[in-house]
Amino acid sequence: MALVSTPATLEQALPVMDNAEVMRIRNDFPVLHQLVNGRPLVYLDSGATSQNPVSVMEAEQEFYEQRNAAVHRGAHHLAVEATEAFEDARQTVADFVGADYSETIWTSNATEGLNLISYALSNAGLWASQGRGDAGLKDLALAPGDEIVVTEMEHHANLIPWQELAFRTGATLRYIPIDDAGSLRMDQAAQIIGSRTRLLAFTHASNVLGTINPVRELVALARSAGALVVLDACQSAPHLPLDVKDLDMDFAVFSGHKMLAPTGIGVLYGKQELLDILPPFLTGGSMITTVTMERAEYLPAPQRFEAGTQRISQAVALAAAANYLTETGLDRIHRWEAELGARMVAGLESLPGIRVLGPDAGKERIGLAAFDVEGVHAHDVGQFLDSRGIAVRVGHHCAQPLHRRLGLTATTRASTYLYNTTDDVDQFLDAVSGVRAYFGA
Q: What is the CATH number of the domain that holds 72?
A: 3.40.640.10
Residue 4 lies in a domain: no
Q: Which long-range contacts (CB under 8 A, 24 or more apart) does 285-293 make?
A: 286/72, 286/73, 286/310
Cβ atoms < 10 Å from Cβ of 195: 9
**79 lies in the same domain as 47:** no
pTM for the whole thing? 0.94
Q: Which residues of the chain have pLDDT under 50?
A: 1-12
Alpha-carbon distance 229 to 279, whole Å?
Answer: 18
Q: Is 245 helix (H, G, I), strand (E, B) or coil?
A: coil
pLDDT, residue 360, reads 78
**229 lies in the same domain as 146:** yes
Residue where a domain terminates, one of 326, 358, 381: 326
pLDDT, residue 13, reads 56
The domain of 114 spans 58-326
Handedness of CA 110, 359, 238, 44 (dihedral sign): positive
Residue 394 near residue 403 (C-beta atoms within 8 A): no
Residue where a domain terminates, one of 280, 298, 326: 326
Exactly one of 272, 398, 405, 439 is catalytic; name it: 398
Residue 5 lies in a domain: no
- What is the layout of strands, in order, in the sheet containing 172-176? 104-107, 266-270, 251-255, 228-232, 197-203, 147-151, 172-176
Contacts of 36 (CB under 8 A, 6+ apart): 386, 389, 391
Percent helix, strand and coil across the chain, each to the nearest 5: 40, 15, 40
**122 lies in the same domain as 253:** yes
* Counted domains in the chain: 2
pLDDT, residue 286, reads 84
Surface-to-core class of residue 393, CB atoms within 10 Å of its CB (0-12 exposed, 13-18 middle, 19+ buried) = buried
Q: Has 398 been annotated as catalytic?
A: yes
Residue 2 lies in a domain: no
**222 lies in the same domain as 336:** no
**298 lies in the same domain as 428:** no
**87 lies in the same domain as 225:** yes
**143 lies in the same domain as 288:** yes
